Structure 1
Amino acid sequence: MDALVSTAPTLRLADLATYRPENRVPAEFFAQYAETDELAGNVMFRSPSFRHHAADGETSADMIVTAAKVLTDRHGSDYLADVDVVLTHSQLPEVPVRGCVGEVAHRLGLRPQAVLDVHNGGCAAFILLLELAGDLLRARGARKALIGLAQNSAGQIFVQEQVRGKAQASIPGDGAAVAVLTLSDEGSPVLDTVCRSYGQYSADMTAVSSPERKYWEAGPGQIHVGFTEAKIAKVLARGNRLVPEVAYEVADHIGVKTADLDAFITNQPNRIFLRNWRDALELPEERHPDTFDECGNLFAVGIPMTLDAAVNDGRITDGNVVLMAAFAHAGDFAAAGAVRWAGRS
């Protein structure tokens, strides 16, 4: 029996843009508050030199709209006028229940067929949104999708008085990214995406405070991530395994050996993961760009931030095959995707 050949139109990445808040915070800011922390020496928490913090009152929607303005400044005020699908992901929704997608679409003057906030993708949300955008465009016969991602917890959660002295506080940074996807003949073809859910690990991601309380309850304890040595060991083991697994799966699908990739871009929780992942794919450091030392852990924004930076400084050029991979939370989700970069359109 002949193999089935897909006739679905190819999803293409037309362009992307990013935003870094003006407040550039050095590691010394956190060092002055450092307290005795049993996790201080853990490899998970080796601080980057800098990170950016959103301004007081600066919302996810604010940052995504600012990133989108880069696209309209670059391509013209009507560049987003034909967007039919808008998808967003916010690390920390400012308002309970609803996300920011409706506000983003309204502020950009869009009238989309579909709007959707996606919360479960975590650090792998950029790839998840690529896949969802392609599915929605094809299913609806739509023209163009806008995806927006915001990481806004660094300047809100990790600078709290009870949190800023902890080892975890200096790692995250804030920022935003947007990308335009189309089914037209212009743009960088998305060669493949793979998304994998591991629900058995979901409960290992926790928010805690002292004294203990539910995050919506009033109380003196300030919420932060619930890390322990045991949890960190599990996350390290899962991350070291999951990211190479999905990366190799996509590389196999597109027929490229990982050692021959032009660029490999991942989320960037810390330097140890970055080193282990490029070693697993047999890649030199120069083909695994990151923005960790300038931006810290950007969660879902890490991949598009680094991709945008690498294109801007010439490390990624037309024709390059770029493989992206990430895992989320304590390992309950992982995704990988590949594009052949064809410039900005």
Structure 2
Amino acid sequence: MGTYLPTRQRSNEEVARDAGVAADWIAERTGVRKRHTAAEDEAASDMAAAAVRSAVAAAGLDMEQLDLLVLATSTPDELGPATACRVQALTKARNAVALDVSAACSGWMFAARVAHDHLRGDAGCRYAAVVGVEAYSKFLDPADRGTAVLFADGAAASVLGPVPATEGFADFHLGSDGALADHVLIPAGGSRAPASAETVATGRHTIRMDGRAVRDFIAEMFPLVVSDSLTRNRLRMDDIDAFVAHQPNPRLLRSVGTALGIPPGRLPVVADEVGNIGAASTPYALATAAVDGPLRRGDRILLATFGAGMTWGSALLTWSGAPVIRTAPTAEPLERSAR
């Protein structure tokens, strides 16, 4: 696995000034303390390419060994071509088939399912890179406290390949409800409302979110997704070593986890330090758990995601001990896990 966070950080104090709230309000209501923001000339593909390079290096591979590159994002470089093609060019993964998957914050899991099934179905393919990335800062209204305090930028990638039969992914289960699509969206810029002077003037190219509806959806769906996965696989809560989930905001995630009865220490929370990085949230949390604990080889992980659309998904993952390289804004830019 590999992760990337842009250098610039925005504190609660800075965000609060533009959003018209107190810094303490942000911390108390969301739990987010800081978030990372891409540079003006830094696009989603730039961040994704950095994460993919780190993941491929962690796997001990060369870029030319990738057979597939699947990218998940809701903030692409352009409406077309696929941002995955931009990443392919940046990384020189010339032998990989590149494509995008759009499922918002559930995107990495949807992309992982595509890559997993592709590898299993094509004997000629051995390695796939799956990357989630968001450049949300390009699409935020700084004055909208419902979105500006939560959403941030970053990327996280994983390399899928051959593992022993007792390790790796199992039991993907994905879902969506398009009737709820208006809960989170960028209203303009697509074929329904192409860019115009009017759409720009009315701020319709920024993220709009019904915060209460999204919160209620996650509070309802998280327990259902977890219980459904456990039931289908005849498992109990105690059989799961770690529950790695999308990170909508730390306060909500911890609250739902507690209500669900997830044992202390088994629900990694990373959004305190990075905010909601959408399609990158779940793989970033997984990579962080591999580096900082509690993951060990052979651990059983239940992954759960939720996103605009509305979308959701779960999967079981038996951890293979995959190494991680994190590319972060520190004096030592590369941090490799020892596991």
Give the TM-score of the pair, scaled to structure 2.
0.83
Note closer, same or farther for the CA distance 1:80–1:50 as it changes in structure 2 (3 Å cut): same
RMSD: 2.7
> Which stretches of structure 1, 4 residues or longer, exceed 6 Å deviation after superposition?
40-44
Counterparts in 2 of 1:208-247, with a 5 A limit?
A: 214=193, 216-218=195-197, 219-222=200-203, 223-227=205-209, 231-247=210-226
42, 65, 85: which is aligned to 2:68?
85
User: What is the CA-CA distance between 1:36 and the residue it aligns to?
Assistant: 7.2
Instruction: Give the equivalent residue in structure 1 for 2:267.
Output: 288
Instruction: Give the equivalent residue in structure 1 for 2:108.
Output: 126
Counterparts in 2 of 1:54-93, with a 5 A limit?
A: 54-76=38-60, 78-93=61-76
User: What is the CA-CA distance between 1:344 and the residue it aligns to?
Assistant: 1.7
SS in 2 for 1:146: strand
Instruction: Give the equivalent residue in structure 1 for 2:120.
Output: 138
Residue 205 in structure 1 maps to residue 179 in structure 2:
no
Instruction: Give the equivalent residue in structure 1 for 2:30.
Output: 46
Instruction: Give the equivalent residue in structure 2 for 1:250.
Output: 229
Instruction: Give the equivalent residue in structure 2 for 1:173.
Output: 152
Tell me the distance in 1 between the aligned counterparts of 2:163 and 2:299.
20
User: What is the CA-CA distance between 1:55 and the residue it aligns to?
Assistant: 1.1
**Cα shift readout 1:143-164 (whole Å, capped 9, x = no counterpart):** 111111211112x222xxxx21
Instruction: Give the equivalent residue in structure 1 for 2:94.
Output: 111
Native 8 Å contact 1:129 1:147 kept in 2: yes
Residue 320 in structure 1 maps to residue 299 in structure 2:
yes
Counterparts in 2 of 1:252-271, with a 5 A limit?
A: 252-271=231-250
Native 8 Å contact 1:59 1:152 kept in 2: yes
Q: List alignment gaps of at least 5 residues for structure 2.
A: 324-339
User: What is the CA-CA distance between 1:138 and the residue it aligns to?
Assistant: 2.3
Instruction: Give the equivalent residue in structure 1 for 2:335.
Output: none
252, 256, 259: which is aligned to 1:277?
256
Instruction: Give the equivalent residue in structure 1 for 2:9.
Output: 24
Tell me the distance in 1 between the aligned counterparts of 2:58 and 2:168.
21
Note closer, same or farther for the CA distance 1:113–1:26 as it changes in structure 2 (3 Å cut): closer
SS in 2 for 1:115: strand
**Cα shift readout 1:175-202 (whole Å, capped 9, x = no counterpart):** 0011111244389411221101212212
Bigger fraction of residues in helix = 2
**Cα shift readout 1:193-239 (whole Å, capped 9, x = no counterpart):** 11012122123334359xxx946223333333334xxx433322221
Tell me the distance in 1 between the aligned counterparts of 2:130 and 2:304.
17
Give the TM-score of the pair, scaled to structure 1.
0.82
What is the number of residues matched between the two proteins? 314
User: What is the CA-CA distance between 1:266 and the residue it aligns to?
Assistant: 1.0
Native 8 Å contact 1:44 1:270 kept in 2: no
User: What is the CA-CA distance between 1:128 and the residue it aligns to?
Assistant: 0.9
113, 135, 153: which is aligned to 2:136?
153
Native 8 Å contact 1:259 1:282 kept in 2: no
Tell me the distance in 2 between the aligned counterparts of 1:69 and 1:131.
21
Tell me the distance in 2 between the aligned counterparts of 1:293 and 1:110.
33
Tell me the distance in 1 between the aligned counterparts of 2:173 and 2:28.
26
Report the identity percentage.
24
Q: List alignment gaps of at least 5 residues for structure 1.
A: 1-15
Native 8 Å contact 1:317 1:341 kept in 2: yes
Tell me the distance in 1 between the aligned counterparts of 2:312 and 2:304.
8
**Cα shift readout 1:282-316 (whole Å, capped 9, x = no counterpart):** 11341111111100111111111111111111321
Note closer, same or farther for the CA distance 1:80–1:254 as it changes in structure 2 (3 Å cut): farther
Instruction: Give the equivalent residue in structure 2 for 1:3.
Output: none
Native 8 Å contact 1:17 1:71 kept in 2: yes
Counterparts in 2 of 1:182-193, with a 5 A limit?
A: 182-185=161-164, 188-193=167-172
Tell me the distance in 2 between the aligned counterparts of 1:44 and 1:257.
33
User: What is the CA-CA distance between 1:135 and the residue it aligns to?
Assistant: 1.6
SS in 2 for 1:317: coil
Tell me the distance in 1 between the aligned counterparts of 2:27 and 2:212.
10
